[in-house]
């Protein structure tokens, strides 16, 4: 008998047995995985089950998993990162959800990621790119380049973590669950103040309509019941409209959509005549490269980027410890 990933186990009582993908979502949320990771993992697990005739994962093992990963690489010709993403999702399913510890899990080979040189824009190209952008997408792009933020770090930035007096931004729960501080470019102080005022007005309107509670991670909303409605916890870049949060079916205002920035970057590249493939992360690469070119110490750049090891930062240059006393944002140069 086949097993459907969205239904209960056929060996029990379908109406009462927890659905596998619902259990996957529950465990992911208990372990504080992001909503984006949840969507990706659930998608890969569903594809794995459907690719094997809707058999339950407990009835499958190394042969099915390796065959699935091989098909991704050979037939679908996915990148090594994509294949490793699928493997991570399936390992999470077996280890964290099903509680299965089998020897073959450790023997599964991850695809090797080829060493790639990151795409970096010249200073002149950055200037041209920003000249063809406006509004919130331009401000976001300036922040990515001027402070070296990852895209989601900028989108999830809270009002309380922008310190105008000290000229710094605090990144909370960045990659690897780490906090760090980075610079706030002086040229962005006034634009960000205007953006915060816009955010304040949206928040006041939400409160007036009976909403205004933002999502807080790690059960902070239970620990500090009034925090979700405080302005300091609101997003610096709120979405223009409220939406229903799939995690708890609560209507609230999320952060700005990353897809809008991607479209704005693509349009600006075309109009600026830039042939390089440019994404939001390209601006972060350019931030690091331009700092090192201007003489900033590589370990200072490592801290600003939030890299765990300096070897990750070394991809931007073959020259270590070039000196540099104090760091000025490349956006301000």
* Angstrom distance (rounded) from CA 183 to CA 326: 11
Domain assignment present for residue 15? The answer is no
In the chain the first and final C-alpha atoms are separated, in Å, by 67
Domain assignment present for residue 190? The answer is yes
* Angstrom distance (rounded) from CA 137 to CA 139: 5
Same-domain pairing of 144 and 208:
yes
270 in Cβ contact with 290 (< 8 Å)? no
254 is annotated as an active-site residue: no
Same-domain pairing of 166 and 295:
yes
95 is annotated as an active-site residue: no
11 is annotated as an active-site residue: no
Each residue's pLDDT tens digit, 240-298? 999 998 878 889 999 999 999 999 999 999 999 999 999 999 999 999 999 988 888 88
Domain assignment present for residue 70? The answer is yes
Same-domain pairing of 266 and 132:
yes
CATH of the domain at 64: 1.10.150.130
Same-domain pairing of 188 and 304:
yes
Same-domain pairing of 146 and 195:
yes
Q: Which of 55, 150, 160, 181 is catalytic?
A: 150
Each residue's pLDDT tens digit, 182-237? 999 999 999 999 999 999 999 999 999 999 999 888 778 788 889 999 999 999 99
Same-domain pairing of 145 and 48:
no
CA distances from 309 to 121, 162, 291 (A): 24, 26, 18
Same-domain pairing of 181 and 287:
yes
Domains in the chain, number: 2
Q: Which of 281, 299, 308, 322 is catalytic?
A: 281
Closest by alpha carbon to 238, among 133, 136, 135? 136
CATH of the domain at 243: 1.10.443.10
290 is annotated as an active-site residue: no
* Angstrom distance (rounded) from CA 11 to CA 314: 54
Using only the alpha carbons of the chain, give its radius of gyration.
23
Whether the pLDDT of residue 2 is over 60: the answer is: no
175 is annotated as an active-site residue: yes
Same-domain pairing of 179 and 313:
yes
Same-domain pairing of 82 and 150:
no
Q: Which of 123, 172, 175, 180 is catalytic?
A: 175
Q: Which of 56, 284, 285, 290 is catalytic?
A: 284
Looking at residue 74, the DSSP 8-state letter turns out to be H
150 is annotated as an active-site residue: yes
Q: What is the residue range of 90's domain?
A: 20-107
Same-domain pairing of 294 and 231:
yes
Q: pTM to 2 decimals?
A: 0.75
């Amino acid at each position: 008998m086949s097993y459907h990933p969205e239904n209960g186990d056929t060996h029990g009582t379908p109406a009462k047995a927890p659905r596998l993908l619902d259990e996957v979502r529950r465990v992911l949320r208990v372990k504080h995985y992001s909503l984006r990771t949840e969507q990706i993992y659930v998608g890969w697990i569903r594809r794995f089950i459907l690719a094997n005739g809707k058999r339950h994962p407990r009835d499958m093992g190394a042969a099915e998993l390796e065959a699935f990963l091989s098909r991704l690489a050979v037939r679908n010709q996915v990148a090594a990162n994509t294949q490793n993403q699928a493997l991570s999702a399936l390992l999470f399913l077996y280890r964290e959800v099903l509680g299965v510890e089998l020897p073959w899990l450790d023997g599964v080979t991850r695809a090797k990621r080829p060493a790639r040189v990151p795409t970096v824009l010249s200073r002149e190209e950055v200037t041209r790119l920003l000249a063809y952008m406006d509004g919130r997408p331009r401000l976001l792009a300036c922040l990515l380049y001027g402070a070296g933020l990852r895209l989601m770090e900028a989108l999830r930035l809270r009002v309380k973590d922008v310190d105008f007096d000290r000229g710094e931004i605090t990144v909370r729960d960045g990659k690897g669950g780490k906090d760090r501080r980075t610079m706030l470019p002086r040229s962005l102080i006034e634009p960000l103040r205007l953006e915060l005022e816009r955010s304040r007005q949206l928040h006041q309107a939400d409160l007036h309509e009976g909403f205004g509670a933002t999502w807080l991670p790690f059960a902070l909303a239970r620990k500090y019941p009034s925090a979700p409605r405080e302005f300091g916890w609101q997003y610096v870049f709120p979405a223009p409209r409220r939406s229903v949060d799939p995690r708890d079916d609560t209507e609230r205002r999320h952060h700005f959509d990353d897809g809008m920035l991607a479209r704005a970057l693509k349009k600006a590249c075309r109009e600026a005549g830039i042939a390089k493939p440019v994404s939001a992360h390209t601006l972060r690469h350019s931030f690091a490269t331009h700092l090192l070119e201007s003489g900033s110490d590589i370990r200072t750049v490592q801290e600003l980027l939030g890299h765990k090891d300096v070897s990750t930062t070394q991809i931007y240059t073959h020259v270590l410890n070039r000196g540099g006393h104090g760091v000025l944002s490349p956006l301000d140069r």
